[in-house]
Structure 1
Amino acid sequence: MSMWVRGTSLMLAGAFLLLSGCARHSKKEQYYLVTVNTQLPYWTTAAEGFRKAAAEYGVTAVIRGPKNFDPQAEAQELRSVVALKPAGILVSVTNPALVGPEIDAAIGAGIPVITMDSDAPASKRLYFIGTNNLQAGRLGGQRVAAQLNGKGNVVFFTMPGQPNLDERLKGYKDVFSGFPGINIVEVFDMKGDSGLAMDKAAEYIGRKGKDRIDGFICLQSSSGRDVGETLRRAKAEGDPGRLLVAMDTDISTLQLIKDGVIDSTISQKPYTMALIGLKALDERHHYPTDNPMKGDYELDPFAPFPAFVDTGVSLVDKSNVEGILTRSQAGPQ
C-alpha cells in the first residue's frame, strides 16, 4: 500500500471516528434543570452553566421551575418533567419530603437524576453535586466569631427545612458552640421572600441595649443584598453599623462588600455545578453501567459514581472582592 493510500485511509478513519462521536448527540436529547426562584441571579448563573454544557455537546438544555419559592410547585414541575422522559434531570431539592418521591419515580422510569445545590440523600438520586454546606457554615461562623471578638447577639435569615440551608446553620452552630459569648437570638424564616428579610432586618436594627443585634447572617443568596440595603440606610441615618455575613456572589452582594456595607460572603459555584451536572447526566445516559441506578456509593469501593462532588467554597471580603466582582461582571468566557 502506498504512503498516499495509507495516509488517506487514516484520515478517513479519523473523520469517521469524529463523525461517530458527533452522532452520539442530538438536539432531540433533552436535559432538564429543575429548581425554584428561577429568576434569582444564583439560578440564572446556574442556567448559563447548564446551557454552556448543552451547547458544547449539541443537546438541548431546559430550565424549569416556579419563579418564587414554592416547594410544592417544584415537585409538580419535576413530576411533569419525568412524564416527558428526558435524557436526564438535574434538580435542586427545596423539600426532600415533596421532591424525593418524584426523584424516585424518575429513577424507576430509567431517567438518571443528579441533585445539585441542595440534596435529597434518602432518595434514589445518583449523587449530589454542590457545596459542602456544613463547611460553608463553619467558614462563616469562624468569620463572625472573629469579627465580633467572640461575643454578641446574632440573627439568621433562612428557610428552615431546606437541606442545604439547614446544613449551613449547623455549621455556624458548630463554631458558635466554642464561643459562649455569642448568642443566637432568632433563626428567622424568610419564606423565600427577601422582602420579608429586609423588613425583619429593620426591626432588628431598632432593638437597643442588651437586646441590640450585633450580627446579621444570611444563609440564602437574595437576603444578603436586601438586608445589606437596610443596613446601608440605617448607617446613613446614624446607626454605628452592624456585622453582616452573606451567602453567594451575585453582583449586588459583591458591590455591597466593596462599599463596606457587607463584611463578607461565602462563595459557591452554581455555574460549575450545572455545567458538570449536565455532562455527568449525558455520560450516564450514553454509557449506562451494569449496576442498578441506586447503590450505596459511600461504602462501595467499586461504585460507578461518586457519592458527592464538592465544587468548593471560599470567603470573599474586601481584600479579594475587586477581582471577583470584575470576573463576575465579565460573565463566562
Structure 2
Amino acid sequence: MSKLSERVIFALLAGVLPLLTGCTRHSKSEHYYLITVNVDLPYWKTAEAGFLKAAFVLGVTAEMLGPKNFDPQAEADELHSIIARKPAGILVSVTNPKLLGPQIDAAVAAGIPVITIDSDAPSSHRLYFIGTNNLQAGRLGGARVAAMLNGKGNVVFFTMPGQPNLDERLKGYKDVFSGFPGIKVVEVFDMKGDAGLAMDKAAEYLGRKGADRIDALVCLQSSAGRDVGESLRRVEANGDPGRLLVTMDTDEATLQLVKDGIIDSTISQKPYTMALMGLKALDDIHHYPVKPLGEDYELDPFAPYPSFIDTGVLLIDKTNVEGVLTRRETAGQE
C-alpha cells in the first residue's frame, strides 16, 4: 500500500471513528429513573410515555417508579432505594420538599444527577426544574374564573396543601382574586390525593343554598377534575345549573367533560415533554459531567445549567377542546 493510500485511509478513519463513537456512547446498562406518586394516573402515564420515548431514542434503560397512591413518605423511601443502585440519573416530582429534599441532596452528593419535574424542591441540590410555571397557571385560571363570575361569587378549591406546585397554583388564583373584592374564597379543601373524597365534598358544596351557595369550584390537582365534574353533572341533571368548574390537565375524561359543557375549562400542562426533556438532559449530564455536581448554580451567571425550563400552559375550553382530543387520539394517549 502506498504512503498516499495509507494517509487517505487514516484520514477517513479519523473522521468516521468519532461519529461511530458518538453513536454508540449509550448502552442499556445506563439506567434512568422517574420517581413520583399516583403512578397509575393518566397524567403520569403520559409522562412515562415521554420518558420511555427518550430512552428508546437514546438506547438506554428507563423506568418510572413510586407508590400507586398519594404517599410522600413512600416516594421518599423509593428514592432512597434507587440511590443505592447508583443509576445514571433521576427525575423526581416533589410531593413534600422536607421529605424529598434530603434524599435529592444525598443522590447528588453520591454523584447522581437529579432534575425535578412537575413539582420542585428549590432548596435542594437538584440541578434544575423542568415543568409548568405554576404561578402563571394559577393566574390563567384565576382570570378565567373572575371573568366568568363577572368579578363576584363564592369559590372553593380542591388541592393538597404543602405540595409545592399546587401551592403555587393557589397563590396565582389568589393573586388575581385580590383585584376582585366581590370574589370570596370560601374554603381550600385538602383532598389528600383521593379523587373520591373530592367527589363527595363537591356534592356537599353543591348542596349549599342562598348566601352560602358555591358559584365556582376549582381543581388544582389532575385527578379531581373528572370526579368533581361528575358531581356537577348530577346536580345539573336535576335542574340546578350555573356552577363554574375549572380544572387541571388533559386526561380524556376531563376533556370530554369540557366538550360536554360540564367543565368550563381546564389548564393544560405537558408531562410528556417534561419527562422527555428530563431524560435527555440527565443523559447529557451523565456523559459530560460538571464538577462539582452539587454546587449552587442558582446565582452563577456562567452556570452550565438553567434554573428552570418552562414547558408551558394552555387554557382549553369548548373552542379548542376538539383539537386536543384529536391530537390525543393521534398520539395514542388514553
Moved more, 83-92 or 294-303: 294-303
Deviations 1:42-73 (CA, angstroms, capped at 9, x unpaired): 00000000000000000000111000000000
Deviation at 1:19, TM superposition (A): 2.1
Determine the structure 2 residue equivalent to 1:202: 203
Q: Contact 1:113–1:126 at 8 Å: present in 2 too? A: yes
Report percent identity of matched pairs: 75
The residue identity in structure 2 corresponding to 1:199 is D
Deviation at 1:11, TM superposition (A): 5.8
Deviation at 1:2, TM superposition (A): 11
Q: Secondary structure at the match of 2:90?
A: strand
The residue identity in structure 1 corresponding to 2:299 is L
Determine the structure 2 residue equivalent to 1:329: 329
Q: Secondary structure at the match of 1:182?
A: strand
Q: Contact 2:219–2:225 at 8 Å: present in 1 too? A: yes
Structure 1 segments of 4+ aligned residues over 6 angstroms from their partners: 1-10
The whole-number CA distance in structure 2 between the counterparts of 1:253 and 1:207 is: 24
Determine the structure 2 residue equivalent to 1:142: 143
Q: Contact 2:268–2:316 at 8 Å: present in 1 too? A: yes
TM-score between the two structures when normalised by the length of structure 2:
0.95
Determine the structure 2 residue equivalent to 1:307: 307
Determine the structure 2 residue equivalent to 1:153: 154
Q: Contact 2:109–2:294 at 8 Å: present in 1 too? A: no
Determine the structure 2 residue equivalent to 1:221: 222
The residue identity in structure 2 corresponding to 1:306 is P
Determine the structure 1 residue equivalent to 2:256: 255
Determine the structure 1 residue equivalent to 2:319: 319
Residues 55-94 of structure 1: matches in 2 within 5 Å? 55-94=56-95
Residues 1-333 of structure 1: matches in 2 within 5 Å? 12-290=13-291, 292-331=292-331
Change (3 A) 1:22 1:151: same
Moved more, 2-11 or 315-324: 2-11
Q: Secondary structure at the match of 2:120?
A: coil
5+ long unaligned stretches in structure 1: none
Deviation at 1:7, TM superposition (A): 7.8
Deviations 1:294-325 (CA, angstroms, capped at 9, x unpaired): 34433211001000011011111111111011
Deviation at 1:5, TM superposition (A): 8.5
Q: Contact 1:224–1:247 at 8 Å: present in 2 too? A: yes
Deviation at 1:220, TM superposition (A): 0.3
Q: Contact 1:251–1:329 at 8 Å: present in 2 too? A: no
The whole-number CA distance in structure 1 between the counterparts of 2:192 and 2:223 is: 12
Moved more, 17-26 or 118-127: 17-26
The whole-number CA distance in structure 2 between the counterparts of 1:23 and 1:164 is: 38
Q: Contact 1:231–1:241 at 8 Å: present in 2 too? A: no
5+ long unaligned stretches in structure 2: none
The whole-number CA distance in structure 2 between the counterparts of 1:232 and 1:153 is: 19
Moved more, 210-219 or 239-248: 239-248
Deviations 1:89-130 (CA, angstroms, capped at 9, x unpaired): 000000000011100110111000000000001111001000
TM-score between the two structures when normalised by the length of structure 1:
0.96
The residue identity in structure 1 corresponding to 2:149 is L
Q: Give the number of equivalent residue pairs.
A: 332
Change (3 A) 1:2 1:246: farther
Q: Cα RMSD over matched residues?
A: 1.8
Q: Contact 1:273–1:311 at 8 Å: present in 2 too? A: yes
The whole-number CA distance in structure 2 between the counterparts of 1:140 and 1:258 is: 18
Change (3 A) 1:205 1:245: same
